[in-house]
Amino acid sequence: MDEANMTLRVEARMVGKRKPLGAPWQVTLPSNLLHPDEDGGQVFRLRDLIAELVRVEVQAFRLRQEERRVLNILSAQEIDDAARTGKVSMGGEKELVPVEVDEYEAVQVALQGFVDGIYLVFLDGQPQRELDGPVQLHQESSLLFIRLVALVGG
């Protein structure tokens, strides 16, 4: 793989839900995640993909928290749209008590969740079973996370 950076399409779903947990998103993977393989090429490891996705999501969470601290002036349409969802918020410092997220701990929890079978990972439709196993990516690759939940009454 000679790409300097690889873009990966990511999607998350939950067993028992028809709709995805959110819209699919794109993540650019830095080339420093590549590892040499036996054939002299370079591959990614699932462990590194999951860790990078968690780091990206933690950064996005922090940015959203910071944006909510800014007081917003809402238009009439924005107020109507927010009212339909059940909450109208103008932001501001009193609006949000910041939550500290330990990036390292978040990565460890995500990796342990994979080991414990809390979620499944599919790369281009193929199940991934080993955190340290090599994964081959191409520019159109997609990663699907499926969160498993316990059955009611079982």
**The pLDDT of residue 107 is above 90:** yes
In DSSP terms, 146 is beta-bridged to 13, 120
SS (H, E, C) the chain: CCCCEEEEEEEEEECCCCCCCCCCEEEEEEHHHCEECCCCCEEEEHHHHHHHHHHHHHHHHHHHHHHHCCCCCCCHHHHHHHHHHCCCCCCCHHHCCCCCCCHHHHHHHHHHHHHCCCEEEEECCEEECCCCCEECCCCCCEEEEEECCCCCCC
Token pair belonging to 53: 């996705």
Q: How far apart are CA 108 and CA 54, in angstroms?
A: 10
Q: Which of 4, 49, 2, 55 is nearest to 31 (CA)?
A: 4
Mean predicted lDDT score pLDDT of the chain: 82
How many beta carbons lie within 10 A of that of residue 119, not counting itself?
19
What average pLDDT does the segment 66-72 reach? 66
What average pLDDT does the segment 51-56 reach? 94
Q: What percent of the chain has pLDDT over 90?
A: 36
Token pair belonging to 9: 């399409």
What pLDDT band is residue 142 in, cutting at 50, 70 and 90?
Answer: very high
What pLDDT band is residue 152 in, cutting at 50, 70 and 90?
Answer: low
| Residue 63, Ramachandran bin (φ over 0: left; ψ between -120 and 50: alpha; else beta) | alpha
pLDDT of residue 151: 57
Confirm if 121 and 144 have CB atoms less than 8 A apart: yes
**The pLDDT of residue 110 is above 80:** yes
pTM over 0.85: no
